[in-house]
Chain A
Amino acid sequence: VVGFGTGTYRSLGGGRGPSFGFRFSCYAALSVVLMFYDQKGGFLETARYGLQAAVYPLQLAVNSPSAAWSWIKESFATREKLQAEVELLRAQLRDQQTASLRAAALASENATLRGLNAAYPEVIEKRLIGEVISEEVSSLRQRLIVNRGGNNGVTRFTPVITGEGVLGQVFRTGPFSSEVILITDEEHALPVQVLRTGVRTIARGTGRSTVLELPFVAQNADVKEGDLLVTSGLGQVFPYGLPVAKITKITRDPGEPLLGIRAVPLAKIDSNREVMFIWPRPSHHAAPASPEALAVEAPKSAATPAAAPAAPAAPPAAAPAAQRVPAPAAAPPGARP
């Protein structure tokens, strides 16, 4: 075995510039500094932002074969196939319209029940459609690159949904693109609630696109197979009530303190590969609980629980009067149906 030290590379350097060993040490030191600041400091966010922009054309190039393939498929689709698709979409639209026919009436009914003067506006204040550039769905990482970034107002923690339910959240942005971590990523955990009973828990990704697990539900909790999970509004990212997953399997092992629960996520990336970024209305009762609201709520509800909904001590300043919801009522999970 040759030692890496002498002779071999000196002949190579030929007296021009520093030796390879020295150069390697410099690059190694530079790498370590980069890693350190990227990991601990957060100073490199701007550098990364720029680098994301630099690799964006390459990302588009990487995606071009599959984009070309889907373009070809679409271009050569037969008339019958397109007609069938239009038929299907019409049927879906009809169903959706029927389902939302009574939405206005229900909203005002809800307002009456809550003792409000006017109905709440839609919790989603703004939305933005993005197209998936590339998909990384392996057992280690479940990420998407979407063609909307900082220039479109997308920031870290922006929720991403599809028509079916919650897809994930923005993990990192570049100027023209953003990286979305899916709820099925091993490193993602999402606060959810069983819609039927209000049991709150955490849904954790497993690295498989079709499986979420709920590892922290007690044996005596009221859950059934087929229950719908919605976001609970905790965790400061997602508003309350977005559909997430359906429970598929519950394993009751009497020897264990917790249930083994699996659920299948509702959101799918369909053939047109479109996702939606959403921005919740900050003052809305279903908006993600802000840290301030959570901090205010704790001592208050302990002192005067009955007075809290009626006389808000510190209403959010920016909210218009008609839509104003007392901050304490927005935060505690108990205030929700």
Chain B
Amino acid sequence: MNLARGEPRWAVTYTLLLALIAQVIPLPDVLDLVRPAFLVLSVIYWSIYAPRAGGIFAAWAAGLALDVFKGAVLGQNALAVALIAYIAITLHQRLRNQTLFQQSLFVFLTLSLYELVVWGIQGWTQNSNPSAWRFMQPPVGAMCWAFVAWLLGRTHVRH
């Protein structure tokens, strides 16, 4: 259990907070459509490299904060982000051994799942919007993964 002691709780907390700010900071329409989902990317990163520091709770809380911020139905992003975290934590040992490119494929798939879950919930709660722009998120997120992983990797010592 030496691993658990070495996991960077503070780094997880403040990077998730910064990622939340980066995700909701107002941007012009065009930039907004291609803005990567920083919060989800950070949650994936920490689920892979520090699965015990934040765990599912941190992911869920971050998703809830996103709901409050976006005025969405409470629990919608929370559920989707917790699901992503669960998948990433479950596969974290395998993902750690992969190259950045392989990881970005995983990111692409999980982000697609995330968008589908949110879309489904929005449909269920009748807040759905028919825009197809939301499916810009997975490719953009996958392309930014290397950068996000590099950035977050600087905040802690990898084991």
* Contacts from A to B (Cβ < 8 Å): 2, 4, 8-9, 12, 14, 16, 20-21, 23-24, 27-28, 30-35, 38-39, 44, 47-48, 51-52, 54-55, 58-59, 61-63, 65-66, 134-141, 143, 171-172, 179, 186
Contact = CB atoms under 8 A, between A and B. Distances in A.
Contact residues of A: prevailing secondary structure: helix
B87 interface: yes
A331 B91 CA distance: 64
Contact of B71 (A31, A47, A172): A172
A4 B87 contact: yes
B140 to A, nearest CB: 15
Given A30-B75, A31-B78, A136-B26, A8 B131 contact: no
Nearest to A33: B75
Interface string B83-124: 101110111111000000000000000000000000001000
Contacts of A38: 73-75
Interface stretch (B17-25, B37-45, B145-153): B17-25
10 contacts: A2-B90, A21-B90, A27-B79, A32-B79, A34-B74, A35-B73, A35-B75, A47-B74, A55-B65, A140-B131
A58 B20 contact: yes
A12 B52 contact: yes
Contacts of B64: 34, 51
B69 to A, nearest CB: 6
Interface string B47-58: 000011001110
A27 B60 contact: yes
A41 to B, nearest CB: 11
Contact of B68 (A30, A31, A52, A137): A52
Contacts of A140: 129, 131
B142 interface: no
Contacts of A137: 29
Contacts of B60: 27, 30-31
Interface of B: 1, 4, 17, 20-21, 24-26, 29, 32-33, 51-52, 55-57, 60, 64-65, 68-69, 71, 73-76, 78-79, 82-83, 85-87, 89-94, 121, 125, 129, 131, 133
B69 A12 contact: no
Contacts of A135: 26
Contacts of B131: 139-140
Contacts of B32: 138
Given A20-B89, A28-B82, A58-B69, A2 B94 contact: yes
A33 B78 CA distance: 12
A66 B129 CA distance: 28
A140 B17 CA distance: 24
Contact of B90 (A9, A30, A138): A9
Given A27-B57, A27-B60, A140-B131, A34 B75 contact: yes
Contact of B26 (A16, A24, A54, A134): A134
A30 B57 CA distance: 12
A2 B92 CA distance: 11
B90 A27 contact: no
Contacts of A48: 68, 74
Given A28-B82, A31-B60, A58 B94 contact: no
Nearest to A12: B51
A99 to B, nearest CB: 35
Nearest to A174: B68
A48 B75 CA distance: 11
A200 to B, nearest CB: 27
The 9 tightest CB contacts between A and B, nearest first, are A34-B75, A31-B79, A31-B75, A24-B86, A35-B75, A38-B74, A27-B60, A27-B82, A51-B68
Contact of A31 (B82, B90, B125): B82
A32 B75 contact: yes
